[in-house]
Amino acid sequence: MGVFSKREYQFLSELGLGPRNPGCCVNGSWKGSGPVVASHNPANNQVIAEVVEASMQEYETGMQACMDAAKIWMQISAPKRGEIVRQIGEALRAKLQLLGRLVSLEMGKILPEGIGEVQEVIDMCDYAVGLSRQLNGSIIPSERPNHMMMEVWNPLGVVGVITAFNFPCAVLGWNACIALVCGNCVVWKGAPTTPLITIAMTEIVAGVLKKNDLPGAIFTAFCGGAEIGQAIACDTRIPLVSFTGSTKVGIAVQQKVYERFGKCLLELSGNNAIIVMDDADIQLAVRSVLFAAVGTAGQRCTTCRRLLLHERIYQTVLDQLVEVYKQVKIGDPLEKGTLLGPLHTPASKENFVKGIEVIKAQGGKILTGGSVIESVGNFVQPTIVEISPSAQVVKEELFGPVLYVMKFQTLKEAIEINNSVRQGLSSSIFTRRPEVIFKWIGPHGSDCGIVNVNIPTNGAEIGGAFGGEKATGGGREAGSDSWKQYMRRATCTINYGSELPLAQGINFG
């Protein structure tokens, strides 16, 4: 059964995982009668374990139970819902190291990033607990005497969450923690290639619900492919669908959801740029670019893909960056000191090879990297490419550790290059000048949802709303007032007098 029996993977049994696992949690019980799929370790492409995915009948059974549970969950007070989410956070804390190892084993990101991802879910639980006492409406002055007008926020009922392989549990946390305290049940479909993480996370949540004598269907999870995802998108019982993935699939999901007058929260592709001005702290910029471009093997939506260097410091920054790229340790993500793990699948490795061919055909000059590493895993070299900003390949997202480097002369030119792509997720500038900073974050600056100064494009904090503009989808998750997306707003006007004055001074009869 693949490498499951090896001693170094015995931690899987501590997470309740076996050689073959039922892949859907219906009302707290594990089932699975759909296709059998294998989970692979991207560092060696060996099978970790097998998962039996959900059938469409199990999806329907799960949704019916979830709808029944929603009637109970939304009646529980928000602070008490927050207490349940607090307990979920504590249960995750107890398994932090184990879950982090599982993320690294199954997804391929290095261990510190795997642990950091689980920690992000824990942090979201903490955030949601505080939020559970702050789901405030508002009082609005009425123009009519003896009238009161207010806004009231109520749960949607059920929130569907479809997550991607690159953040197999953090994105769930952004959505589920807030959705739960807002009074919604959650239906989760994890990525098909990271089913073990989906099962392990769900088992922890299910345990907390069971301990509190709550219906397990408050949190319903399915391992499955496109068929389950399409069912969620088309299901009129799910008022809000949060989807994370490619722009192509996101558009299809959005169309299905909007056709039935549902709401969509989309987190799609990014093509993020870092601008380094001539007054920047060069060492700070180089370290930031390395983390932003190489972290998670370039498989973050916030990965830095375009580096714009002022002509005065162009060669200085480039020389330093090429040098540090050559020192990056590539290898098993579970090994201490590894900075670059494998790409997630063999298909990702093939896309890297094809991408390099296109880059060369469009005039790109490979300064370092550009090749796959011959091994049993999906390893490639971190790559720096010197290229024109007008090259078509620069406009698209190659999901790997490939960095395009370009030269500019003025801030205006750099902003135009930053804004020239259809994606609009994250962006950063390195400078010490206040006038440049405020131009950058203002209406004539970056058109992205995340606009940073002197930090990388990745590594967003949960306190700020996360998301982007244009082809990135326009959704916002985690902090700020993003909780409002998971609730429905009702404007309520109360007449506590005996007269019936009309708005706008209308006299009817």
Residue numbers annotated as active site: 267
Residue 263, number of CB atoms within 10 A of its CB: 16
Q: Is-contact 238 230, C-beta < 8 A?
A: no
Residue 267 burial (10 A CB sphere; 0-12, 13-18, 19+): buried
How do beta strands 147-155 and 138-140 pair? Answer: antiparallel
Token pair listed for 76: 């529980």
Nearest partner of 257 among 288, 283, 236, 280, judged by Cα: 236
Interatomic CA distance for residues 151 and 481, integer angstroms: 15
Residue recorded with tokens 């642990």: 115
Q: Is-contact 51 37, C-beta < 8 A?
A: yes
Amino acid at site 260? R
- Map 108-166 to HEC letters: CCCHHHHHHHHHHHHHHHHHHHHHCCCCCCEEECCCCCCEEEEEEEEECCEEEEECCCC
Residue recorded with tokens 């049994």: 13
Amino acid at site 350? E
Length of the chain: 509
339: left (phi over 0), alpha (psi -120 to 50) or beta: alpha
Residue recorded with tokens 């900075």: 339
The SS3 call for residue 11 is helix
